[in-house]
Amino acid sequence: MAVPSLFRSAPAASFLQASLPLSSADHPTASCVNLSSSKFQSSIFVAHVSSGSSSFQLRTPHNIQPIKATATEIPPAVRKSSSGGKTKIGINGFGRIGRLVLRVATLRDDIDVVAVNDPFVDAKYMAYMFKFDSTHGTFNGTINVVDDSTLEINGKQIKVSSKRDPAEISWGQFGVEFVVESSGIFTTTNKASAHLKGGARKVVISAPSADAPMFVVGVNEKTYKPNMDIVSNASCTTNCLAPIAKVVHEVFGIAEGLMTTVHATTATQKTVDGPSMKDWRGGRGASQNIIPSSTGAAKAVGKVLPELNGKLTGMAFRVPTPNVSVVDLTCRLERSASYEDVKAAIKYASEGPLKGIIGYTDEDVVSNDFVGDSRSSIFDAKAGIGLSHSFMKLISWYDNEWGYSNRVLDLIEHMALVAANA
């Protein structure tokens, strides 16, 4: 069954106006209203819309009833966008993200993958790796090798090439509009621009970039401009952290925070101890160790949420699990709030303006419960804790492969929609 895109819905302002009781104030404000119950105090917030962006304000709930959230809740179905038919994309690099972007695309009715390039993988091996996946299971569809330059997936033909230089890939001849740059090599604007020479119109880098504009869907994608030809989808960890940080900061204010991501093993790690000249600890066997590592994910939040620039930093622990990671954000708030207040704010966002991006669970979940979850960040209400009314630890899970691959395509669809309406 086709999974609709997050961005085939009305703009955020229209959605909020249609579904929430909005204030007429010109600028967003935030205030806390505590509600007493026999068990705890909680707060609910509604959203203000100002200058096309959403923000949140705590309000007393009238007829808003709690909804029990689960770890496997399906993201909402939304209307098709007016971007004009299917967006044709190509994939450069058929590694973990490249293959899963293609898998996700087969479930959507707004994306059409027409070409894949990888200089190290021929068509037969592509078909094998795409069909069989040790983490996400066997592909639930049909895949055939037509010839050395063509795959057929679910009856749809996809051209295959093996060029090392992106400038030599015939994206234009294949009809490609957007390229997913998932090789992990061409991550700067200068290097990724080679795809444009081959006829592509836009490039989305599936990794952080040193100089390309960075976007996190649900956080800052509305700042995208049609003249931006090369953009970054940030990292999977930034995609988990930034939506949570956005909600918490807009409602309560984040004075400062430290993030730790407990991150699943990735393909760059060693199966046994081996050479790693820049990161000696990173050269130790991935299945044998918990490995401290650096990450720029927390600092990158400052690029997509400028008001948090310089307020967040963090580190990572690489752990011997194959998939699903978890963010631990320990932060000091600017405004007094209980942990129950913060939970209520995130829960409301997960059911309203950021549904499909943020999830919420109050169940006794573990990492395997989130394999195949398409949301960017699933807040674990039971795992977090508050020390005081200004200092607390927030925990949020993410499928660092599947969720991220969904956001890559959501960003592309948003870019296509902006172009169609320009």
Q: Find, among 81, 13, 171, the residue nearest to 413 by Cα.
A: 81
CA distance 273 to 320: 14
Which tokens is 416 given? 């296509």
Which tokens is 171 given? 């994206």
CA distance 22 to 13: 10
Three-state DSSP state, 180: strand
- Is the Cα dihedral 97, 100, 102, 108 positive or negative? negative
Which tokens is 340 given? 């129950």
Cβ-based neighbours of 344, under 8 Å, separated by 6 or more: 42, 43, 44, 45
- Catalytic site residue 32? no
291-294 and 230-232: which strand pairing?
unpaired
Cβ-based neighbours of 366, under 8 Å, separated by 6 or more: none
> Which member of 32, 236, 240, 331 is catalytic?
236
Q: Find, among 257, 260, 239, 237, the residue nearest to 248 by Cα.
A: 257
Q: Which residues are catalytic?
A: 236
